[in-house]
Amino acid sequence: MKVRASAPGKAILFGEHAVVYGKPAIAVAVDKRARVTIKEGTNDNTEVKIPKLDIDAVIKHETGRVTPVNVSQVERGKFDAGIMEYIQVALSQLGTPLDGLKVEVDLEIPIGAGLGSSAAITVATLAAAARYTQAEMTLETLAHTAHQVELQVQGAASPLDTTVSTKGGFIYFTREKGALKIKPALEMPLVVGYTSQPGNTGALVEGVRQLREAHPFIVNPILEVMEDLANQAREYIIQGEEKEVGELMNINQGLLDALGVNTDELSRLVYRARHAGALGSKLTGAGGGGSIIAYCPGKTREVLEELESIENAFQVGISSQGVTW
């Protein structure tokens, strides 16, 4: 038996970090996906391959321990045990033993780029496992379970990434109301500039928490402004106000800088994108490395060429489709 599932990555337009404290955020699913195939294995262990990351590993049946098949991967520092943990924990969630499998992940999303690679892998792995075991799972249950996996692996995580990866499209997310689809009245041409320096989401979330604890009278108002900004951005997106959406993205970048999650490399990409004609540009995701997004209606080619001249860059489209299984 062979089953497949896939899930999209995401880009956060507004509200990263603030969403951890119950504030709203706006994110979109992008047309870069994680595709997971599960089929029956040849022994009691579970074999996992992620060709793009040069990962070839085994989850031991007796211990649950992850062991690289190719020792040279470890010697070269190429074995990423972190991404394996999401797969391992996801496979354990359905209450049914999932030993003796072959799992392969086709990954289009850069790891650590702030584009939701771990959420996409988690959602796709859970969906494929549900199909393999013929377990019934609603989209809401899938998104919730995927969030629990991220919490177990990272220690702290917003439900935003796994929700967008599950449902697709434009999402306005609040903790109280969950995910609400937005019907945009504008196109959303985005260029991603990737620093090739991954950010550590857990560490960055913890850093903001410590900053808030040390300076609550400063940080809490920043989070409140980010809430107002996300709410206003939602209205502009619905009304099709391109210029205003770009301006709010630029303001959001300044607030993220104030929270200490920006870097010199991200700033360089942000300002080069604006110089090339982007209406708005900001880091996306946790920061500390990873990626920026540039909103550039009518200037996609110019912005892409500018960012490609200094770092990795690529264009992304918006995916209306969430998880497929």
For the stretch 53-105, pLDDT in tens is 888 888 887 777 787 776 555 444 455 567 888 998 999 887 767 778 999 99
Q: Which of 162, 181, 200 is the last residue of a domain?
A: 181
Tokens linked to 178: 């969950």
Give whichever of 130-144, 190-204, 230-244 has the largest mean pLDDT: 230-244
Please report whether residue 325 resides in a domain: no
* pLDDT above 90 coverage of the chain, percent: 70
At 199, the amino acid letter reads G
| Backbone conformation region of residue 160, classed left if phi is above 0, alpha if psi is from -120 to 50, else beta | alpha
For the stretch 167-185, pLDDT in tens is 999 999 988 888 899 999 9
pLDDT of residue 62: 72
pLDDT of residue 76: 44
Give me the CATH number covering residue 263: 3.30.70.890
Please report whether residue 323 resides in a domain: no
**At residue 283, does pLDDT exceed 50?**
yes
Range of the domain at 262: 190-316
Provide the annotated active-site residues: 161
Q: Which of 181, 201, 221 is the last residue of a domain?
A: 181
Using CA atoms, how far residue 235 sits from 229, 247, 283, in Å, is 10, 14, 21
Using CA atoms, how far residue 96 sits from 62, 100, 149, 210, in Å, is 15, 12, 16, 39
CB–CB of 79/73 below 8 Å? yes
* pLDDT above 70 coverage of the chain, percent: 95
Please report whether residue 322 resides in a domain: no
Domain count, the chain: 2
129 pLDDT band (50/70/90 cuts)? Answer: very high
Q: Which of 181, 210, 231 is the last residue of a domain?
A: 181
pTM above 0.75, yes or no: yes
Whole-angstrom Cα distance, residue 158 to residue 163?
9
